[in-house]
Homo-oligomer: A and B are copies of this chain.
Amino acid sequence: MTYTIGLDYGSNSVRCVIVDTSNGNEVGTAVFNYPTGNAGIILDANDHNVARQNPTDYIEGLEVTIKDAIEEAKILPDEIVGIGVDTTGSTPLPIDKDGTPLGLLDEFKDNPNAMAWLWKDHTGYGEAAEITELAEKEHPEYLAKCGGTYSSEWFFSKILHCLRVDEKVFDAAFTWVEHADYMTALLTGTTNPKEIKRCRCAAGHKAMFNDSWGGYPDKAFLAKLAPKLGKLRDALGDETYAIDTVAGNLTKEWADKLGLKEGVPVAMGAFDAHLGAVGSGIKEGALVKIIGTSTCDMVAAPNKTKLADVPGICGIVDGSVLPGYFGLEAGQSAVGDIFNWFVNYIQTGGKETGDHIALTEKAEKLRPGQSGLLALDWNNGNRTVLVDQRLTGLLLGQTLHTRPEEIYRALIEATAFGALTIINRFEEYGIKIKEVINCGGIAEKNPMLMQIYADITGKEMKVSRSSQTCALGSAIAAAVVAGKAKGGYNNFADAQDAMTGVREITYKPIAENQKVYQQLYKLYKQLHDAFGTVGYGSPLYDVMKDLLSIKEKANA
């Protein structure tokens, strides 16, 4: 028997699964909750935009979870033929000339700016706007491949913001690497920052990397944002690698620590959503939705067909999901987070009236349209298709008779309307979505939500067989770099065929619900366009932004 290891670094914990390469079964699994900060995230009470992570947690989690998972799997270390890693992103961290994260150094160990800047850190929203503005003027092609707007969640926004607010950290960094690339460098003993292999998916989707303009953005372009950012360009290199590439081989040191064989191949890392799509069986015509606190929507389109740039989509990157395909990434900035917010803070009545179970039980008895409520799903901004962090939530239609379960359902419906808006955008640009494969706890556990998604999008909702598609995707990448001769596979198609699948239960659109939701979506779209786009013929576009400005002044 042969197995691979899939490591999945999430926002609050890291998970390791040991996967049977013959059928994708998870034979061992272990989770490590990051000990630092608030559920693994370093926050700032005075600035809701801050979200950092301690790299120490990443390293500790590596050791603990691999050992525990192997023990649970009751297999021989020799049977493990490859390792794959996925992480959140864009989550860049500054490293010194020896490849050590600054956050591990005594000098910086208490400085949040020296830590990993978690994907949902939005402190660089001003810098994101600057980058967008400059690119619009000088390099519109940079933006065309990432949806037309550079986001505060992305690589250069964060690094530039660090330079602006903590130059000492910036200066101490030899370069910045994505969390995923740091992990593969660590496991393969790549301490020279110039030799660290950078993954295609992070570079292409979040750092404006594209072969058509020679890799990362032009040095002069970056220098215009800040001279020191221009200098950093040299430390980024010109190469990136897709997930069918070997990042390197496991060092003796780590092999000994983990009880594994020295030299086991480590696959190039990738973002959780990308490998989650692989683990869900992504292929042409399928949209994979990874539904969690936020949602990632992944699409793969053959790279032999000509593809239009799709405005508002987070990226179109050759080889970012599967070799031979353009990977397209879209997403919603908050999904589960919105439901959790409502349950944890707004309706705190508990078991009787206010937990997820109680609210779901009552909400599923409601018919579409019955509550008279309509919400926008922008409590954490809008990632796709508006690419605007400075948007906020909206709830409309409440009366004195409105009950919590109606609001709860309206919030779920809002996320489904957001999902439909993304699907429509893909289809408007010629990428037909034939099926939707969902994964994540919400998709597995909430049939009401899945049915609402089917009714609102008009697409059959399938659910991925694995509960850990990201980790499974990493294990699949590991199986491919191991190769068929070692018990793995020679390509992703074969590996996915054997190792992935969907569950028996699927959710088909119900015609009468669809009819009502089509009416509601028209209204959603009116609100969406009025508050989210300029030139709609009303001044409402400014309302959310003005409110945020007033709020920031009041908090200053």
Contacts and interface: CB of A to CB of B under 8 A. Distances in A.
A523 B548 contact: no
A337 to B, nearest CB: 5
In the complex, the 3 A-B pairs of residues with the closest C-beta atoms, listed nearest first: A538-B538, A372-B551, A393-B398
A546 B523 contact: yes
A537 B540 contact: no
A346 B348 contact: no
A337 B400 contact: yes
Interface in A30-57: 48
A339 to B, nearest CB: 11
Interface string A176-206: 0000000000000000000000000000000
Contacts of A360: none
Contacts of A540: 526-527, 530, 538, 540
A269 interface: no
A374 interface: yes
Interface footprint category on A? 35 or more
A341 interface: yes
Interface in A371-408: 371-374, 379-380, 392-404, 407
A370 B551 contact: yes
B399 A372 contact: no
A527 B542 CA distance: 11
B346 A550 contact: no
A354 B349 CA distance: 9
Interface in A321-357: 334, 337-338, 341, 345-349, 353-354
A351 B407 CA distance: 23
A520 interface: yes
A305 interface: no
A346 B348 CA distance: 8
Contacts of A537: 537-538
Given A392-B396, A392-B399, A397-B551, 9 more contacts: A348-B353, A370-B554, A395-B396, A397-B547, A516-B554, A526-B543, A530-B530, A530-B540, A536-B538
A405 to B, nearest CB: 10
A203 to B, nearest CB: 29
A348 B345 contact: no
Contacts of A547: 369, 372-374, 396-397, 520, 523
Each complex incorporates copies of this chain amounting to: 2
Nearest to A550: B369
Nearest to A380: B400
Interface in A511-542: 516, 519-520, 523, 526-527, 530, 536-540
A550 B341 contact: no
Contacts of A539: 526
A346 to B, nearest CB: 6
29 contacts: A48-B401, A334-B400, A337-B400, A341-B402, A346-B402, A348-B353, A348-B354, A369-B553, A370-B551, A372-B548, A372-B550, A374-B543, A374-B547, A379-B399, A392-B396, A392-B397, A393-B396, A393-B402, A394-B394, A394-B395, A394-B396, A395-B398, A396-B544, A523-B546, A526-B540, A530-B530, A530-B538, A538-B540, A540-B540
A211 to B, nearest CB: 37
Contacts of A374: 543, 547
A367 interface: yes
B526 A367 contact: no
Contacts of A353: 348
A337 B538 CA distance: 31
Nearest to A347: B346
Given A371-B551, A550-B519, A398 B392 contact: yes
B346 A404 contact: yes
A212 interface: no
Nearest to A381: B399
Contacts of A392: 372, 396-399
A400 B372 contact: no
Which of A337, A372, A403, A520 has the most chain B CB within a 10 Å cutoff? A372
Nearest to A338: B400
A345 B404 contact: yes
A516 B536 CA distance: 27
A551 B551 CA distance: 34
Contacts of A548: 372, 397
Contact of A393 (B348, B368, B397, B404): B397
Contacts of A526: 539-540, 543
A537 B538 CA distance: 6
A523 B538 contact: no
Contacts of A401: 48
Given A519-B546, A540-B530, A395 B397 contact: no
A101 B48 CA distance: 62
